[in-house]
Structure 1
Amino acid sequence: MSAETMGLRESKKQETRQLISDHATRLFLAQGFEQTTIAEIAAAARVAKKTVTNYFPRKEDLALDHHEAFVESLARAVADRTEGESALAALRRYFLTAVEERSPVAGFAGYEFAHMISESPTLTARLRELHDQREEALAEALAEGAGGSRGEGERIAPRAAATLLAAAQRLLFERIQELTLAGRSTDRIAGTVAKEAAYVFDLLAPSLGDHPDARRG
Structure 2
Amino acid sequence: MSDKSGTPAGLRERKKQRMYRTISDAAIALFLDKGFDAVSVADIADAAEVSKPTLFRYFAAKEDMALHRFADHEDEAARVVRDRAAGTAPLTALEEHFLAGLDARDPVTGLCDDPGVLAFHRLLYGTPSLVARMHAYTTRSEEHLAGALEEAAPGGEHGALTARLAAGQILVAQRTLALGNWRRIAGGARADDGRGAAAAEARHAFALLRTGLAPYC
TM range (shorter): 0.7 to 0.9
The aligned residue for residue 197 of structure 1 is 202
Q: 1:37 aligns with which of 34, 37, 40?
A: 40
The aligned residue for residue 46 of structure 1 is 49
The aligned residue for residue 163 of structure 2 is 158
Aligned partners of 2:48, 2:74: CA distance in 1, in Å?
Answer: 27
User: In the comparison of the two structures, how many residue pairs are matched?
Assistant: 210
Q: Scaled by the length of structure 1, what TM-score is found? A: 0.83
Classify 1:191/1:16 alpha carbon distance in 2 versus 1 (closer, same or farther; 3 Å): same
Which runs of no fewer than 5 residues in structure 1 stay unpaired? none
Aligned partners of 2:211, 2:14: CA distance in 1, in Å?
Answer: 48
Over the aligned positions, Cα root-mean-square deviation in angstroms equals 2.6
Which runs of no fewer than 5 residues in structure 2 stay unpaired? none
Classify 1:133/1:9 alpha carbon distance in 2 versus 1 (closer, same or farther; 3 Å): closer
Classify 1:49/1:188 alpha carbon distance in 2 versus 1 (closer, same or farther; 3 Å): farther
Identity score, percent: 37
Tell whether the 8 Å contact from 1:135 to 1:166 is kept in structure 2 after alignment: yes
Partner SS state of residue 34, structure 1: helix
Tell whether the 8 Å contact from 2:36 to 2:127 is kept in structure 1 after alignment: yes
Aligned partners of 1:10, 1:128: CA distance in 2, in Å?
Answer: 27
How far is the alpha carbon of 1:167 from its aligned partner?
1.8
Give 4+ residue runs of structure 1 displaced > 4 Å after superposition.
7-11
Aligned partners of 1:18, 1:156: CA distance in 2, in Å?
Answer: 36
Aligned partners of 2:193, 2:56: CA distance in 1, in Å?
Answer: 38
Choose between structure 1 and 2 for higher RCO, CA contacts under 8 A separated by at least 6 residues: 1
Q: Summarize the alignment of residues 124-203 of structure 1 with structure 2, pairs less than 5 Å apart.
A: 124-147=131-154, 150-151=156-157, 156-203=161-208
Aligned partners of 1:57, 1:102: CA distance in 2, in Å?
Answer: 31
CA displacement 1:34-56 (0-9 Å, x = unmatched)? 22111101111211012222222
Tell whether the 8 Å contact from 1:110 to 1:180 is kept in structure 2 after alignment: no
Is the deviation greater in 77-86 or in 175-184?
175-184
